[in-house]
Structure 1
Amino acid sequence: MPDRVQERPSLPPRVTLPLLDLIQQQALDEDYLVAAERRAGRAQQMALRGGAGEGDADADADPPQRNPRRIAAVVVAVFGVMASTAAVQTQRNASVDDEGRASLVSRIDDQSARVAGLQERIAQLRDSNASREARARAIAADEAALTPRLRRLRVRTGFVAVRGEGISVVVDDAASGSADGVVRDEDLALLADGLWTAGAEAISINGQRLTALSSIRTSGQAIEVNGIGIAPPYSVLVIGNRNTLQADFFETSSGLAFNDLSARFGFEFDLQDEDSVSLPSGPSMFLFLRSAVEGRGADQNPPKTEEMNR
């Protein structure tokens, strides 16, 4: 048997009819329904009264009903006005919404650009900080390397009072009292040159520290060191390696020359090893540095002295 075709249920009018037609139809149907109900009620009343007079019938007659078409037109007009108002309002709201959305998008773009600029600035600052940190580390390394050299220069130039092991040298005029047996300024300068060459780190003569600007010269009858007069016996204090300083002194040309003068003219000349020798700093008038260059040899050796507090 062929399959029966199942008929699909029809949709109600409120689903299929257009909105305006549905409103008009419902408005008219309701008006007619109300009018019919009223007429049916009056007919029942008249039947119960049993045929009342014509005058009474006219008196009980319903007032004329309003025209249903006019009511429907009014309803449609009101609905049209409301729909137009809603459409206009919706359009205005849409315009406002578009403007608000555009403003918000613009603000987001501005803030995004600002954040991007700040991030770029942060990256630049990080690179700059990394460069400065690398430079600071390099400067710290240079400072650490220069500190020992600075200490050696301060000791050798007499900028600081020092203490350490070394030797003491006493030089006096000849006991004979002869003019040739008097120690002169050039004799002390020859002695100092020999000690420097032998490896002395610091020297003082009668308490006067020898610096790069010191002078040993005769003024009148007295010898002056750093512009201060000194008298015999001359006490020379030397800081250096006490185990080798004396032997190295007599191997220098200046040391051999001074030893020859001592033997020839009868100078009183005596050297002694010392466990601890203290030397003052140089005169304040000499404690300034004009220039300095990197040295070699003995300047690179670590000093055996200890800086003293002034």
Structure 2
Amino acid sequence: MSERPEPPPELPPRVTLPLLDLIQRQALDEDYLLAAERRAARAEEGRTEGGRTAEGGGGSPAATGAARAPGPRRVAAVAVAVFGIMAATAAVQTQRNAGVRDEGRASLVARIEDQNERVSRMQVRIADLREENADTEDALRRLGEREQALTPRLRRLGVRTGFTPTQGEGIRVTVKDAETGDLDGTVRDEDLALLADGLWAAGAEAIAINGQRLTALSAIRTSGVPIEVNGVGIASPYTVLAIGDRGSLQATLLDTSSGIAFDSLSRRFGFTYDLQNEEDMSLPSGPRSFLLLRSAAEDTGQDRPQPKESPS
């Protein structure tokens, strides 16, 4: 059998006991020792009947105990003083730490309150921004609906005023000077103006002469010998494209007063014209320089065509 290991030696109390317990135990042990010595001295005095022996020269045990008595008392007093100092130090330190903790807690509470107030302000700001955003979205939605409602009208106005390219069916009118070469048989600006007025009255939606789109600001005039449309000179033969109902545009043209006057001048002076239906034609927009606004007047908002006047 293997030998049992010897138990470890017990440590002295000064190692295992806490400091305060050790101080208290030592003070109590010394008090017990002092009380035992005093009882022994009184017993010795009783045996000698109160007399002192002269032998030994060192005095009686009671005297010896009395001489040593102040040592334990001083140790106990020192221990109590040390304990009091430690207790006072601990109390002061605890009070100081409590003050620091109170200050830290007050600072932390103040910071928390400041942050809570800041969060409250930001929440109010967020609510205001959300309300403002909702109002802006409603306004944007209304503007979008209005834009959708105005886009078709803007398209129609752009086509009728000549500032939007357009495409569709219509008629082609080709006008030529008289083959005789007589000056009276030369097509003039007022002749083309009568034709354009007749086409407008017949229901044409857009007109172009030799690639020049007629707009609300266009002019057909003679500058020397050639005819100018939109400030651009054109020459015979003149090709007039009119977008509209090709099934009725030709017949309606000759029923208008301007169309009748144009036909009468053609017969009188000898210039010729030819009408032809077209399934699909493309007309460009008018000059962008005409879009410079010089004046404006309030309108009723109704989208209706205006009659064309013959330019001078």
- TM-score relative to the length of structure 1: 0.68
> Over residues 54-99 of structure 1, what are the superposed CA-to-partner deviations in whole Å (9 max), with x where a residue is unaligned?
8579599566332465555444444333333333222222222221
Q: Aligned-pair distance for 1:209?
A: 2.1
The C-alpha deviation readout for 1:173-229, integer Å capped at 9, x for no partner, is: 456766655433222111101212222222122332222222112233433222333
- For 1:290 and 1:147, how far apart are their aligned partners in 2? 24
2:96 equivalent in structure 1: 92
Give the aligned partner of residue 128 of structure 1: 132
Verify: 1:204 aligned to 2:208, yes or no: yes
Which letter does structure 2 place at the counterpart of 1:143? E
The CA distance in 2 between the partners of 1:278 and 1:76, in whole Å, is 118
Distance 2:284 2:29 in 1: 129
Residue 297 of structure 1 aligns to a residue whose secondary structure is: coil
Count of matched residue positions in the alignment of Structure 1 and Structure 2: 266
Correspondence for 1:297 among 292, 300, 304: 304
2:250 to 242, 246, 259: 246
Q: For 1:114, what is the secondary structure of its paired residue? A: helix
Do the aligned partners of 1:205 and 1:235 also contact (CA within 8 Å) in 2? yes
Q: 2:86 aligns with which of 65, 82, 90?
A: 82
Corresponding residue for 1:16? Answer: none
Looking at both structures, which has the greater relative contact order when contacts are Cα pairs under 8 Å and sequence separation is at least 6? Answer: 1
Measure, in 2, the Cα distance between the counterparts of 1:251 and 1:237.
19
Q: Which ranges in structure 2 are unaligned for 5 or more consecutive residues? A: 1-22, 44-52, 307-312
Question: Aligned residue for 1:185?
Answer: 189
Aligned-residue Cα RMSD (Å) equals 3.9
Which 5+ residue runs of structure 1 have no aligned equivalent? 1-22, 44-52, 300-310
> Quick check: 1:158–1:287 contact (8 Å CA) kept in 2?
no
User: Sequence identity of aligned pairs in percent?
Assistant: 65
After TM superposition, give the deviation of residue 122 of structure 1 in Å. Answer: 1.7
The structure 2 residue matched to 1:168, chosen from 167, 172, 194, is 172
Does the CA contact (< 8 Å) of 1:28 and 1:69 recur in 2?
A: no
Q: 1:239 to 1:291 in 2, by over 3 A?
A: farther
Cα pair 2:176 2:236 within 8 Å, conserved: yes
Question: What is the rounded CA distance, in whole Å, between the counterparts of 1:83 and 1:187 in structure 2?
Answer: 125
Match of 2:31 in 1: 31
- Give 1:39 deviation, angstroms: 8.1
The answer on whether the counterparts of 1:199 and 1:240 sit within 8 Å (CA) in structure 2 is yes
Q: Which moved more, 1:209-218 or 1:66-75?
A: 66-75
Contact 1:224-1:230 within 8 A present in 2 as well: yes
In structure 2, the partner of 1:214 is 218
Aligned partner of 1:66 in structure 2 is: 69
